[in-house]
Structure 1
Amino acid sequence: MRLIQAFMVTGLVLAAASVSGEEAKPNIVLLFSDDAGYADFGFHDSTVMQTPNLDRLAESGTRLTQFYVSASVCGPSRAGLMTGRYQQRFGFEENNVPPVMSPSSQQLDAEMGMPTTIPTMGQVLQQQGYRTGIFGKWHLGYADRYHPLRRGFDTFVGFRGGARSFFAYPNPDKTQRENLLERQFAQYQEPKDYLTDVLADATCEFIRENQDRPFFAFVSFNAVHLPLQADRRDRDAFAELSGDRRTLAQMNLSMDRACGQIMKQLEDLGLSQNTLIVFSNDNGGPSDKNASNNFPFAGVKATHLEGGIRVPGLIAWPGKVPAGETFDNPAITLDLLPTFVAAAGGDPESIDGLDGVNLLPYLQGKKQGRPHQTLYWKKETRGTIRDGDWKLMRFPDRPAQLFDLANDPGEQNDLAAKHPDKVRELFQKLFDWEVGLERPLFMLRPEEEAWSAERFDQFRVPPANNR
C-alpha cells in the first residue's frame, strides 16, 4: 500500500513538473535555406543581396561565425542535423539520388533513406511535449516508411525529394512522386503560388493552430537550390545584376521575405519573446551552378574546403541568448538537436549516441572555450578533420593538405610539407574516428565521384564575383 501511495505521489509530482515545464517551454523555429552562398546575406556584409529580415534576426540574437554542417551535400547534411550525430555512424554518407547512385546502391531502391532506428529531432521534441511540423524539403528517404509523419512530425507540407520546381508542374501525373508538393501523407496538391510563399503560409498556419502549446517548426526551404526560378513579383529587382546572379538574388530576397512573414506571425500572436529561432543553411553554395558566393572562403558545395562546409548561423531567443553578439568558436549543426532539447527543459546527455553538444551554456557565457576540439567530415574516400585550428584534408589521388584556419581561413597556404608531424597526428585521429563508422548505405557512380586534383584546384581561390 505504501509503495502504491509512493508511486501516486511521484506521479503527481512529475505531472505537476510537466505542466510547469510546459508553460515555460519555448517554441522553436528552424529556418533552413538550401545551397545558399556564405556571403549572400546582409549580415555577412553583402552590399548586393537584400536580406533585411534575416539581418534583423542577426541583430536580435547571436551570430555563429564558425558554424559548420556535417556534410558538404544536402542529404547527409540533413541526416546529421535531424539526428544530432555524424550521419556516417549509420551509413548515410551520400545523397540518396537513384539516377546517380552506383548499380549496387540502386538495388536498394526504396531502402535509400535514413534508418528508422535512429530517432529524429522531431521524435525527440515530440517526447518533450511539442507539436512538430516540417515545411519544404525532406530528402531523407522517398519510401513511405521514411515519411516525415512516420519520423517524428505531426504536420508535413513539402516534398520528399531533393529538389523541385518553384511553380506547379503542368503534368503532375507524369511527375515523380517525390517531387510533388504533398500535404500530410500522400495528399498531393501542387502550389498555386510561388513555392517559397506557399511554405511560409503553411508555417504560419501551423503556428496559429498551435499557438497555445509548444511547437517546433522546421522550415526547410528549397530556395536557393536549382532550378533558378524567381518569384514573378521580383522580376524587376536587382537591375544592376544580370544572368544567374540576378535570379539568385531575387530568389534570396523572396526567401528572406518568407522568413520575415514567419517572424511577423510570431510577433502578431505575442509569441516572439518565448520563441527560439535559428537560421542556417544545408551546405556551402555551389557557385559553379547557381552563382552563389562563398567569400571569403575557397570551395563550393561537395568540397571539404571551408566554402563547402562552413555556413551562416544565427540563433535568437530573447532574454536567453545575447543580442547583437558573435560566437567565434567552432560549432556544427549536430549541436542543434541537443540545444533544442535543453531549451525545452530536457536533458540532452540522456540521449545515447549524440555527437552534438548543447550550445546554450557557451552562448550564455556559463561555459568557456570550444564546444568541440575536433570535427570530422567524410565522403567516400575523402576525409577531413579540424582539430583546434588545424585542418587536414585527405584525398584519394593526391597528398594530404594541411591548413591553419586561424591565420588562413581562405585555405591558400598548404602547410603539410612544413609540419609532417602534425599531418601524421591528424591522419591518426581521422583514422581512429573512421574505424567506428558504418559502411556507406549507398554510393555514387564512379563518374559522379571523379574528384580529381584538377577538378579540386578550380575551387581553391576564393570567389570574386559581386557581393
Structure 2
Amino acid sequence: MTKHANALFVRFIALGIAIQVVVCHANADDTVRRPNVVLILADDLGCVDLGCTGSDLHQTPVIDALAAESMRFDRAYAAPTCSPSRSAILSGKNPAKLGIVGHGGVRKMGGGGDFLVGTEYTLAEALRDGGYNTCHIGKWHVGQAKANRPEQQGFATVVAANEFCCPGSFFYPFRDRRKGSKNAKLSAVPDLESYGPSDHLTPSLGSEAAKFIQQAAQGDQPFFLNLWYYAVHTPIEAMPEKVDKYSALKKPGAKHRNPEYAGLVEHLDDSVRIVLQALEDSGVADNTIVIFYSDNGGEVRRGITSNAPMRSGKTTLYEGGVRVPLFVRWPGVTRPGATSKVRVVGQDLYPTILAMTGVAGQQEQNREMDGVDFSALLRDPSATLPPRSLHWLRYGELVHYPTYKTDRTFGPSAAIIGKEGWKLIEHYPTPHGLERRYELFDLEQDPYEQHDLAESRRDKVAELKHELTEWQREIDLPSYEELAYPAFEKINGAGDSRAGERLRP
C-alpha cells in the first residue's frame, strides 16, 4: 500500500469511528428523550366521582388540576368490571377475545387460570423490550399466583400486588384481621411493612410510587410506572378525620352522600399529589406522560356512589357501568383544557402508548390488537378516528354476584355501540325467570339512556343485533348458552330442562 493510500485508509477508519460515535450518541440521546409514562388506574371510580366531572360532595383538587392540564376524553369507556378492563389495557385486545367475560372470566383457553394468559405480549413487555424501566404498584387481578403475576408479564419491579380483587383493609397492616376470614391471606397487601397505624393504604402506594420515580429518574432509561390503585373499591374505608369532614359537608338531595366513600376518594387525590410532586422534584415532569383512567363505572349498589346522570353502574353495560374518566397530559403536545368527544376505550391505550413513546412492540401482537392508536387526537383536539363499533360481553359471575340470575338490571348481557352512536343492549335469559330482551338507545340524542327505542326502531335493532352476532363469531368464544347454563347448574344444582330451553335464542 502506498503512503498516500495508507493515509487515506487511516482517514476512512477515523471517519468510520467518528460516525459510530455520533450514531451511538444520537441513539443514547433518543433514549433519553423518550418520554416516561405514568399510568394511574383508579378502581371503581365513576365518571362523575371527581370534582371536575360533577361530584356534588367529593373534593379532588389535585386530580382536577391534572385534568385541567390534560386532554380530557368525555366519551372514554372501559369494561364493566376490573379484570376485563385491566386485561384490555395490557393486551390491547377486547377482553372478550381473551375469554374474559365475567368478573374473573370464563375461559375456553388455557393459561392456568381465568385471567390474562402468559402468551400475550403485554404493554409492559413491549416497553421493557423497547428500553424502558418498568414498575407495577398496587392491584393486579389479571393473573393467579406464580403463573401470570406482574413479574411474568413484563414488570421488573413489583410492589404491593396481592392475589385478590381488593385489599383486606385500607388500614395498617393492610390485611383482613377478622376472625375466620377465608380470604385473609389472599387479600393481604405485601411489601408495606415499613408503614404504621397512622398510614392509609392509598397514600402509601403514592409514596412507593414516589420512591420508584426518584430512583428511576437517576437512571439512563425512560420509565413506565403502572400505578393501579386499590381505591376506591371496597372495603370503603377512610381515615376518621376525612369521614367527619364529609359527614359535615353532605347535603340532603345530593347525589353523593356517602362520607366514607368521599373520604376514600380524597385519599386517592392525596396520593396522586405525592406522585405528581415526585415527578416535579425529580426534574422529569416535563418529559413524563401522565394518564389517569378508571377500570369501570362506580358501584351504585349498597349506596356507595352515584353515576347520575349516567344510568346505573358497575357490572352493567349501561353508560354508568362503562363510562369512565380519562385524562392524558403529554407535555409539549396536549393542550391544557382540551377535550375530545371521540369514543375511546381501554384497549386503545396500548397502541397509543407505543405511538407516544416510539416503541415498536411486537408485530404479531400489534396485528391482533383491537385497540386503536388515538395519539392524533392528543396532538389535535379536532381530529377524529375512523368510524368503528365498540363491543362488550358480560356473561356474569354468580360467585360474586348471585343476584344476576333474577336481576333485570345487573343480569348477564352484551352490548354494541355502532358507528353512528346507536347502542343496543342484549339482556340474556337465565333459568330463574329472566327473558331475553333488547334495549336500544340513540346516544347522540339520549346520552343518559332514558328512552328505549327497541320497539319503534326494530330495523336498527336487527342491524346492530346482526353486527353483534357476527363479532361474537369472529372472536371464536363459546356462546353464552354454552358457558352460562353450566355455571347456573353449578350454583343451583341440577336445574331443569325447561330452564335450558329459555337460554336458546
- For the pair shown, the structure with the greater C-alpha radius of gyration is 2
Amino acid at match of 1:125: L
Partner of 2:210: 204
Deviation at 1:332, TM superposition (A): 0.8
**TM-score, structure 2 length as denominator?**
0.79
Partner of 2:464: 426
Could you tell me how far apart the structure 1 residues matched to 2:237 and 2:22 are? 55
SS in 2 for 1:114: coil
Pair 1:374–1:417, CA change in 2 (3 A): same
The more displaced of 368-377 and 234-243 is: 234-243
Partner of 1:163: 166
Could you tell me how far apart the structure 1 residues matched to 2:127 and 2:111 are? 30
SS in 2 for 1:236: helix
Partner of 2:9: none
Matched, 1:335 2:343: no
The more displaced of 249-258 and 173-182 is: 173-182
* Contact 1:283/1:311, CA 8 A, preserved across alignment: yes
* Contact 1:88/1:440, CA 8 A, preserved across alignment: no
Deviation at 1:226, TM superposition (A): 0.6
Partner of 2:444: 406
The more displaced of 267-276 and 60-69 is: 267-276
Figure out how many residues of one structure are paired with residues of the other and give that number. 433
Partner of 1:461: none
SS in 2 for 1:182: coil
Among 48, 64, 71, the residue aligned to 2:57? 48
* Contact 2:92/2:349, CA 8 A, preserved across alignment: yes
Partner of 1:460: none
Partner of 1:390: 422
**TM-score, structure 1 length as denominator?**
0.85
**Unmatched tracts of structure 2, length 5 or more:** 1-12, 396-411, 429-434, 493-505
Amino acid at match of 2:422: W
Partner of 1:260: 273
After superposition, the C-alpha distances for 1:234-257 in whole angstroms (9 at most, x for unaligned) are 243211339971100000001011
* Contact 1:68/1:309, CA 8 A, preserved across alignment: yes
Partner of 2:250: 241
Alignment of 1:1-400 (within 5 A): 18-69=27-78, 71-96=79-104, 111-158=113-160, 159-164=162-167, 165-167=169-171, 168=173, 169=175, 176-183=184-191, 189=193, 192=196, 193-212=199-218, 213-238=221-246, 239-241=248-250, 245-289=258-302, 291-347=304-360, 350=363, 351-365=366-380, 368-370=383-385, 372-380=387-395, 382-387=413-418, 388-396=420-428, 397-400=435-438
Could you tell me how far apart the structure 1 residues matched to 2:311 and 2:491 are? 20
Deviation at 1:116, TM superposition (A): 0.5
Pair 1:14–1:115, CA change in 2 (3 A): farther
Could you tell me how far apart the structure 2 residues matched to 1:76 and 1:374 are? 18
The more displaced of 315-324 and 236-245 is: 236-245
* Contact 1:29/1:217, CA 8 A, preserved across alignment: yes
**Unmatched tracts of structure 1, length 5 or more:** 451-467
Identity %: 30
Pair 1:229–1:94, CA change in 2 (3 A): same
Deviation at 1:382, TM superposition (A): 2.0
After superposition, the C-alpha distances for 1:245-286 in whole angstroms (9 at most, x for unaligned) are 110000000101100110011111121111100111110111
Could you tell me how far apart the structure 1 residues matched to 2:21 and 2:135 are? 30
SS in 1 for 2:456: coil
Could you tell me how far apart the structure 2 residues matched to 1:449 and 1:41 are? 38
Deviation at 1:171, TM superposition (A): 5.3
Could you tell me how far apart the structure 2 residues matched to 1:81 and 1:372 are? 21
Could you tell me how far apart the structure 2 residues matched to 1:74 and 1:91 are? 14
Could you tell me how far apart the structure 1 residues matched to 2:211 and 2:32 are? 22
CA RMSD, Structure 1 to Structure 2 (Å)? 3.1
Amino acid at match of 2:371: G
- More RCO (CA 8 Å, sep 6+): 1
* Contact 1:92/1:440, CA 8 A, preserved across alignment: no
